[in-house]
Structure 1
Amino acid sequence: MTATETTPAHLSTPAHLSTEARFVPIQTRSERPTSFDPAEFGTPTGREVNWRLSDVKRLAPLFDDEETETGDEPGIAYDLGALEERGLLVESSGHDAAVRGEVFRPEDVVSAMAWKRCANALHIRLPEGRLVEEPIVARLRGTGADRHANAHIVIEAMPGSTGTVVLHHSGSAQYAQNLEIIVRDGARLTVISVQDWDDDAVHASAHQAVVGDGAFLKHMVISFGGAVARVNPSMRLAGHRAEGEMYGLSFADSGQHLESQVFMYHEGTDTRGDVLYKGALQGTGARSVWIGDVLIGNDATGTDSYEKNQNLVLTDGARADSIPNLEIKTGDIAGAGHASATGRFDDEQLFYLESRGIEEEEARRLVVIGFLMEIVQKVGVPEIEERLAEAIEEELRRGAGLAPATKAGA
């Protein structure tokens, strides 16, 4: 299938990556080319700017453009609860289905492959002017480490709507996923992606969101499981007074690679953005990668933006890469900044706790929990917050060599 055949008909100017562009070094995230055709990107080697810190070897099965089974995604079993009965699902058949592709443009070979291979999208829509009080939970369970699956998911918050959507990933699979998020004018949406995979799962996901006038989007990436979980979110604050918050939490164990390349684009006027990602690592070969890019556009006057990444390395043999970037194209802003910090336990915190009679092991546990709970408490859904706190405790037990308790998840 060609790129032209898989490009939505309702896109007036489909993205295209020229042959020359592939050989021009990409200096900033805003210059990154897009294409609906996987062949335009070629196979990643690990030398490309957006792949140089990734686990290309273990992600390699997702680069293969050979024909795979399509349709109902046999590699992933969907549990959508009663979403159809609640009127929250929309028919989305074919690549040219309405809304699909309104925001999304593949930025790498995996997202282009997922676009091409997934004929039908899962489309969740919050009705206009409606408050959906109960969180919308979609459970996606991998059916086997040797099963390959592709998905395109659309989450659309209609004008004036409010709600929370949770994507909970578990089981095992080789899974390429695109997530397209559209927050219409005046809507308020929270999207939480939980990576609770088995230890042999490989997951690469591209999230792309646009936020309209007076609208708000809270986007969260929570990664505990999987051999490799590469979740790259981008958010475009397109409308006047659009607001966006991007939060992330990861806990990498021995041999795990957990990665997020984050992009926030301030396009509209008087927009506000906040990015905060935190990670903990323990065990030989534990690896986390965070690359944060913020772009304040030419017309984005009145922007207020800040991004920060913090990592806590708990043992020898673990590695955290953290790269914040800030690109400003107008001087008329309210404020902008970025920060990054990676280190071990704070000796002063440990001394304070131990001086009050708390044993060293317990003191270390309290420090880690306190460090990560800042993100958990931003979820805003008590049930999910409780389960994530249990998952952190489980990771600490595993690091201490203790028997696992019951597995927690969203």
Structure 2
Amino acid sequence: MQTRSERPHSYDPADFEIPTGREVNWKHAPVARLAPLFEDVAADDRPGDPAVEYAVTAPEAVVVGSLRAGEAPRGDVFEPEDRVAAIAWRRTDEALHVRIPRDVELEAPVVVEMSGRGADRRANAHIVIEAETHARGTVLLRHAGSAQFDENVEVIARDGSHLEVVSVQQWEDDAVHAASHQARVDRDATLRHIVVSFGGGVVRVNPSVELAGTGSRGELYGLSYADAGQHLESQVYLFHKGAETSGDVLYKGALQGESARSVWIGDVLIGPDAVGTDSYEANRNLVLTDGARADSIPNLEIETGDIRGAGHASATGRFDDEQLFYLQARGIPEDEARRLVVLGFLAEIVQKIGIDDLEAELFDLIEAELAQEVSR
């Protein structure tokens, strides 16, 4: 089934076949490496030793709690569209709930740190992030260590709110992580959603955002840097449901090393009632070495002709020889010229995050990746 909006949804894992790699939503994924996540099993938690350990740091105004299945707002937005998400839903007894109360404006981000305790250990998670009416704030999800991790993230941006959700994947090389992010953006609200993937053996983060309210806005950005043997994937879905909505999707990636792989699939649907929509999606990839591969598939579906504009773009290529020649002609050594080109290419996404410490950290990570490439 090619159309993203027509895919089946269910809370029961049994309603989804175990992926074989032939399905439209799995055909670019390494299903053999993801196989542990297709098993409907509980987390490998031990007394005093959870498979994934959580630490939440939040400003005083933020309400942090838990939600069982059937306890609102858990499930108000989220409905699994694949087997992994359905397993995470069923196997997570209590979802973490982060709520920014009405009219509150946070001066510091909420930080949720998740640390895996071993590549052979299974963990499941469901997180609900809610910004109430006219609230403003940022929630940062950080993943580190190693695990086999099924994760659902449910995001609700209520009327007039401005919410930023940043998900950073810095796993060890043996980690396997599949995450489904689903969000609803209500009237005159804005959601900025950013995915940053550097670490992990296989990392698959799929955001789905519904611009439900009139005047709502969605900004979906992504940054990835794939090394040898890594598979970094994002399938992005932006649904313009309400009138006068606007969307901006931009994902950028760099790849280096034998069998480094990135996959980006972008689906934008402009519904029949989404008059006055303005939407654009783009994906750009920079391949730094032989043996690396980037798959980029943008899709745009429009069900009304009364829109302001809509478009999509995709580009994958190597270094621009003219850029390198320009820099070298001004006395800059080749290695330094390559470094400047890559930093300039990726900086556009880093600078959208708005968290100074994290931006500095990501620039350092990019520098470290480049140093590895130069040393080869």
2:170 is the counterpart of 1:196: yes
2:55 is the counterpart of 1:79: yes
1:38 maps to which of 9, 13, 31: 13
Match of 1:408 in 2: none
Match of 1:108 in 2: 82
1:50: Cα distance to partner? 0.1
Match of 1:122 in 2: 96
Structure with the bigger percentage of strand = 2
Q: How many residues align?
A: 375
Match of 1:280 in 2: 254
CA contact (8 A) 1:127 1:157 kept: yes
CA contact (8 A) 2:148 2:176 kept: yes
Give the TM-score normalised by the residue count of structure 1.
0.89
Percent of counterpart pairs with the same letter? 62
Aligned CA-pair RMSD: 1.4
Give the TM-score normalised by the residue count of structure 2.
0.97
CA contact (8 A) 2:232 2:262 kept: yes
Match of 2:326 in 1: 352
Match of 1:65 in 2: 40
2:150 is the counterpart of 1:214: no
Match of 1:292 in 2: 266
SS at match of 2:219: strand
CA contact (8 A) 2:42 2:124 kept: no
Structure 1 segment 85-104 matched on structure 2, within 5 A: 86-104=60-78
Measure, in 2, the Cα distance between the counterparts of 1:370 and 1:298.
39
1:399: Cα distance to partner? 1.9
Match of 1:323 in 2: 297
SS at match of 1:92: strand
Match of 2:275 in 1: 301
CA contact (8 A) 1:70 1:118 kept: no
SS at match of 2:70: coil
Measure, in 1, the Cα distance between the counterparts of 2:359 and 2:45.
35
SS at match of 1:91: strand
Match of 1:153 in 2: 127
1:73: Cα distance to partner? 8.8
Q: Does the C-alpha gap of structure 1 residues 78 and 357 become closer, same or farther in structure 2, counting only changes over 3 Å? A: same
Measure, in 1, the Cα distance between the counterparts of 2:246 and 2:43.
42
Match of 1:8 in 2: none
Unaligned runs of 5+ in 1: 1-25, 403-410
SS at match of 2:312: strand
Match of 2:23 in 1: 48
SS at match of 1:368: helix
1:94: Cα distance to partner? 2.0
2:234 is the counterpart of 1:260: yes
1:93: Cα distance to partner? 3.7
- 4+ runs of 1 displaced by more than 4 Å? 67-73
CA contact (8 A) 1:70 1:119 kept: no
Measure, in 2, the Cα distance between the counterparts of 1:324 and 1:268.
22
Paired letter, 1:98: A
Match of 2:356 in 1: 382
CA contact (8 A) 1:155 1:179 kept: yes
1:165 maps to which of 120, 139, 143: 139
Paired letter, 2:205: V
C-alpha offsets along residues 78-136 of structure 1, whole Å, 9 cap, x if unaligned?
A: 1113x3x8252343342111100000000100000000000100000011001011011
C-alpha offsets along residues 20-50 of structure 1, whole Å, 9 cap, x if unaligned?
A: xxxxxx1211111100010110100000000
